[in-house]
Amino acid sequence: MSEGFERFTDRARRVLAVARQEAGRLQHEWVESEHLLLGLMAEGEGAAVRVLSRLGVATGDLRVAVERALRRGDRPVEGEPRLAPRIERALELAAGEAKRLGHSSVGTGHLLLGLLREGGGIAGQALTAAGITLDRAREATVAVLAQAPQRKARVKRYNLVMPEELFRDLQDFADRRHTTVVEVMRRFLRLGLVVGQACETPGSAVVIRENDREREVLLV
């Protein structure tokens, strides 16, 4: 490609690396469309896999179809397998698809579209046999990439400042219960309590003084 891989996402670059590994595993000197398709399916959380799923295609079945159509080379390849002209063309088409859809980077979904637009090789045959057309894949790619990414739950951390007398009371209480002040305060926070003063009762409850009010809470 004339513009290199600057616009390719990290995930898309990983797919290309896996495609080279697949070519080497199969003792092929050139990275072809089938190797790229295997790389796309190996990247289990990428947009390409989600597009295939949206189109009702099981990646396991598609991989088996590709593997069956492949022939292993006669001897191990010396050095790194090179990109075949067909793949370079597919990558250029993938970049074109990203531009056409108004996307600033080239991801795995665009790589799948590039394979479909190029249309040749074992990958093209396997995708066609699975009933995947360029128009359907393009529509599914737009839908998948339009979905808001799932955000991982973030842990919230707080700095807690309290009067020294209250801390000593809580420390004594925590020691008697073989726990920590942090755990005690976590239970208070879980109950939504603003603690101003705490003391233990004979029933292993805690009297919480909030301003001028008192509440008795049993900590279990």
Going residue by residue through the chain, which has 220 residues, state the pLDDT in tens, using 9 for 90 and above. 445 677 898 889 999 999 998 888 888 989 999 999 999 988 877 899 999 999 998 888 888 888 888 888 888 878 888 899 999 999 999 999 999 988 888 999 999 999 999 988 899 889 999 999 999 999 999 999 887 555 544 544 445 555 667 667 777 777 777 777 667 666 655 544 444 444 444 444 444 454 455 444 444 3
DSSP 56: T
CB of 19 closer than 8 Å to CB of 90: no
Pairwise CA distance, residues 194 & 116, whole Å: 61
The phi, psi pair for 198, rounded to 5°, reads: -140, 140
Pairwise CA distance, residues 203 & 216, whole Å: 10
End-to-end Cα separation, the chain, in angstroms: 65
Q: How many CA atoms lie within 13 A of 13 on its CB side?
A: 8
CB of 9 closer than 8 Å to CB of 106: yes
| CATH number for region 10-146 | 1.10.1780.10
The phi, psi pair for 57, rounded to 5°, reads: -105, 125
pTM exceeds 0.75, yes or no: no
What does the domain layout of the chain look like in residue ranges?
Answer: 10-146, 164-218
Please report which helix (H) or strand (E) contains residue 199, including its range.
strand 197-200
